[in-house]
Structure 1
Amino acid sequence: MSAPIFIIGSGFAAYQLIKTLRRTDQQQEIHVFTNDQGHDYNKPDLSHVFSKQQSCADLIRMSGEEFAREYQISLHAFTAVSTINPEQQSISVEGETLHYSKLVLATGAKAIIPSMEGDAVDQVLTLNGLQEFEAAQLKIQQAKSVLVIGGGLIGTELAMDLDSSGKKVIIADPCASLMATMLPEFIALQLQKSLIKSGSLLALGDTVKSLTKSELGINVLLNSGQQYQVDCVISAAGLRPNIALAKQAELQTNKGIVVNLELQTSKKNIYALGDCAEINGKVMAYLQPILLSANALAKTLLAQQTTLKLPAMLIKVKTPKLPMQMSGQTVIGVDSWQIDIDAQGCCVKSYDSDKKLIGFIVTEQHMSKAFSMMRELPASL
């Protein structure tokens, strides 16, 4: 039997890799090192836990122990890896040196909390994982008013879910429209109208200057001078890949851990996968590219060198007040749009300067057109 494969991290990317490895090889020794309990859960479900009145337990598909038994792995829960030695092919864990044949970094990403003033900044909540949700769920469930910092994909999905659960929601974002890097303004406007209609407040083109404690909750002061009183604040201002271990090991890093199309880092026998990996200058924190990456990497780890290929991929936006799907380039790099709007929703096609289709957005009843249009799009990789 070969030396063990070590995986650092226990999120979707790590566990999808393990499931794929086990479909081919039942004998390969696999060790997983994770800072948490190692439960198997679906992270995107965090976007609609409040309207569904779900608890942390509702999201767990398998406990860490159950997953370890099912997939015959050694799970090292609540165990931090302190250093990686690429030359010796070893890691240091709690003072012990352990040797691997292959090492996979699936260390994920950390939620960004923008710089703000005030004595309530330490009360800002994040929901980038099961542990964070478990720590924050009671406070958010009891809140009647919530400030969501960030109007991107996750912030918008979360804000709509909180709105649907009966809370007063304020969204603050420096961009002039919601999901500004993904939606042209004429689509974002429809989304904004649906939120405003249900009572949400949009502080777009604005940022939080300070958060201060009060007897009634948290006082919010925006840079525009606008003030609000809320019960809690959630930051959904984006993610920053966890690359500290990679830097310690002197792996090449940029926005994430730089990998080639075999998911290999700049050091031999070390790979990166998921939210922490940067492929062709991009960190692709969506389920489909992570799933395809895991499938390709599993083959490579089992001595079948495989190059990652990514087709055009569909993004399903969880905004039930305006259901939509999209693929390709929809704002950045777009030269023109073709718009078809009717009572059943809209279909927006985006084109480059050569009049080639490079992306689309479909809403409501037009979502049935998505798969036929995807066949016309260029591959992502």
Structure 2
Amino acid sequence: MNKHIVIIGSGFAAYQLVKSLRKQNELTPITVITADNGDDYSKPDLSHVFSQQQTANDLIKQEADDFARSNNITLMPNTRVKAIDSTKQVVHFNDQCIGYSELVLATGATSFVPPFSGNGTDEIVTLNSLMEYEEQQDKLATAKSVLVLGAGLIGTEIAMDLATSGKKVTLLDRATSLMPTLLPSFISANLYQTMQEKGVDIKLGKEVKTITRHHQELIVTLQDDSYQHADVIIAAMGLAPNTQLAQESGIDVAKGILVNQHMQTSINNIYALGDCAELNGKVRAFLQPTMLSAMALAKTLLGSPTPVQLPASLVKVKTPWLPLHLSGDTTSDNLMWEVKQEPEGLVAKAFNQTTGDLAGFIVSHNQLKAAFPLLRLLPVE
């Protein structure tokens, strides 16, 4: 078969791979098949659309047709892949099929929404894609009160941005601290106090029982039988990698689509990339590892097998009331902290209690520049 790379998906991972491929080879045929319209945008920007008063169109960096032309690819928008025949190396869609020499699954992830009870559950808003925001932007613009379910990274960022835009915001989570998978308790408590002082109503250790529509508002009943009222409910409770197509195609999956160091799945000539892929037991939803993986995979697809090597990734938390950069292990029990609170910000270093080695760090405010020299001291993942 002649060379023909087919990519399923058009998110950051897919388009980063396209750009990396084209930097090395301008002519190899590339087809991108995507279930949405294929516009190029930055998904992290969805966390601050409210304070910026941005519409979905404002977030588009390059429209789909322009992206396809400028990168010399065939783009098939609004097309859903039905099946993959890995024996014949064919992808099926819309009663048609297309052959591939290499296939890349960049199918992304879907917002996780638990199966709550009540007649208002189908009104829960998720903001994991430009299409989702476009569908809900009018409702969000006119809402006066918003309940955000999930106090992780995305939920906390969205809640702060909504409050900055002047809306009444409640942030609710069954966890007992903000961003518990990223922040130690002393920084989480600082963030909690900062947000409370700015008017965000934070409800931690609370679990939703039902969501019902009552006239013009949604009513959330909690397990302790207390109530929360809101015009709109946003779920930011984590992401579930989209693995169904891979699984139906006989590709090994766990939490994500299992890949080796070359991003190859359990089937030859099929690869996975982005937050649908699981490498070394982890699904990495941040931009830096996806970018580095795309650069390595591009070389592999063009005939120069290149293993993915991931240095410690810098996580930039978009919480302008308490801006944070962090990396490494910042939540394990086996850490001892060295914390320096300077007038211009915080520098907190986490050391492994057993080895004494630097394990992670968190910096804030005008100390964000201190992140880069610390990042170089952390071990490769």
TM-score by length of 2: 0.98
Instruction: Return the alpha-carbon distance in structure 2 between the equivalents of residues 26 and 272 of structure 1.
Output: 22
Aligned pairs for 1:123-134 within 5 A:
123-134=123-134
CA 1:64–1:313: 2 relative to 1, 3 Å: same
Helix, strand or coil at the partner of 1:347? strand
Match of 2:360 in 1: 359
Deviation at 1:2, TM superposition (A): 2.9
CA contact (8 A) 1:39 1:64 kept: yes
Deviation at 1:97, TM superposition (A): 2.5
Match of 2:235 in 1: 235
Match of 2:338 in 1: 338
Deviation at 1:174, TM superposition (A): 1.2
What amino acid does structure 1 have at the position aligned with 2:174? P
Instruction: Return the alpha-carbon distance in structure 2 between the equivalents of residues 292 and 207 of structure 1.
Output: 38
Instruction: Return the alpha-carbon distance in structure 2 between the equivalents of residues 25 and 365 of structure 1.
Output: 41
Greater shift, 308-317 or 231-240, is seen at: 308-317
Instruction: Return the alpha-carbon distance in structure 2 between the equivalents of residues 228 and 96 of structure 1.
Output: 49
Instruction: Return the alpha-carbon distance in structure 2 between the equivalents of residues 215 and 50 of structure 1.
Output: 25
Aligned pairs for 1:221-370 within 5 A:
221-332=221-332, 334-352=334-352, 353-370=354-371
Match of 1:79 in 2: 79
Deviation at 1:333, TM superposition (A): 5.6
Helix, strand or coil at the partner of 2:84? strand
Helix, strand or coil at the partner of 1:119? coil
Instruction: Return the alpha-carbon distance in structure 1 between the equivalents of residues 236 and 15 of structure 2.
Output: 24
Match of 2:61 in 1: 61
Deviation at 1:354, TM superposition (A): 1.4
Instruction: Return the alpha-carbon distance in structure 2 between the equivalents of residues 341 and 311 of structure 1.
Output: 27
Instruction: Return the alpha-carbon distance in structure 2 between the equivalents of residues 81 and 215 of structure 1.
Output: 40
Instruction: Return the alpha-carbon distance in structure 1 between the equivalents of residues 155 and 317 of structure 2.
Output: 11
Structure 1 unaligned residues grouped into runs of 5+: none
Match of 1:3 in 2: 3
Deviation at 1:49, TM superposition (A): 0.3
TM-score by length of 1: 0.98
| 2:39 is equivalent to residue 39 of structure 1 | yes
Measured against aligned partners, the alpha-carbon deviations of 1:93-151 in whole angstroms (never above 9, x if no partner) come to 11123210000000000001122111000000000000000001111111111010000
Greater shift, 371-380 or 282-291, is seen at: 371-380
Aligned pairs for 1:150-161 within 5 A:
150-161=150-161
Measured against aligned partners, the alpha-carbon deviations of 1:275-309 in whole angstroms (never above 9, x if no partner) come to 10000000000000000000000000000000000
Superposed CA RMSD in Å reads 1.1
CA contact (8 A) 1:262 1:305 kept: yes
Q: Percent identity?
A: 47
CA contact (8 A) 1:273 1:294 kept: yes
Instruction: Return the alpha-carbon distance in structure 2 between the equivalents of residues 174 and 342 of structure 1.
Output: 33
What amino acid does structure 2 have at the position aligned with 1:101? S
Deviation at 1:3, TM superposition (A): 2.9
Measured against aligned partners, the alpha-carbon deviations of 1:184-226 in whole angstroms (never above 9, x if no partner) come to 1110111111111111111101121111111231011111222
Measured against aligned partners, the alpha-carbon deviations of 1:217-253 in whole angstroms (never above 9, x if no partner) come to 1011111222121100000000000001100111010
CA contact (8 A) 1:334 1:350 kept: no
Instruction: Return the alpha-carbon distance in structure 1 between the equivalents of residues 356 and 234 of structure 2.
Output: 41
Match of 1:148 in 2: 148
Match of 1:185 in 2: 185
Instruction: Return the alpha-carbon distance in structure 1 between the equivalents of residues 143 and 159 of structure 2.
Output: 13
Helix, strand or coil at the partner of 1:84? strand
Match of 1:379 in 2: 380
Deviation at 1:272, TM superposition (A): 0.1
- Displaced runs of 4 or more, over 4 A: none
CA contact (8 A) 1:217 1:229 kept: yes
Structure 2 unaligned residues grouped into runs of 5+: none
Instruction: Return the alpha-carbon distance in structure 2 between the equivalents of residues 254 and 338 of structure 1.
Output: 37
Number of matched residues?
380
What amino acid does structure 1 have at the position aligned with 2:250? E
Helix, strand or coil at the partner of 1:221? strand
CA contact (8 A) 1:109 1:239 kept: yes
Greater shift, 287-296 or 89-98, is seen at: 89-98
What amino acid does structure 2 have at the position aligned with 1:299? K
Greater shift, 229-238 or 324-333, is seen at: 324-333
What amino acid does structure 2 have at the position aligned with 1:369? A
Deviation at 1:55, TM superposition (A): 0.4
CA contact (8 A) 1:181 1:332 kept: no
Deviation at 1:28, TM superposition (A): 0.4
Instruction: Return the alpha-carbon distance in structure 2 between the equivalents of residues 56 and 139 of structure 1.
Output: 13
What amino acid does structure 1 have at the position aligned with 2:379? P
Instruction: Return the alpha-carbon distance in structure 2 between the equivalents of residues 368 and 28 of structure 1.
Output: 40
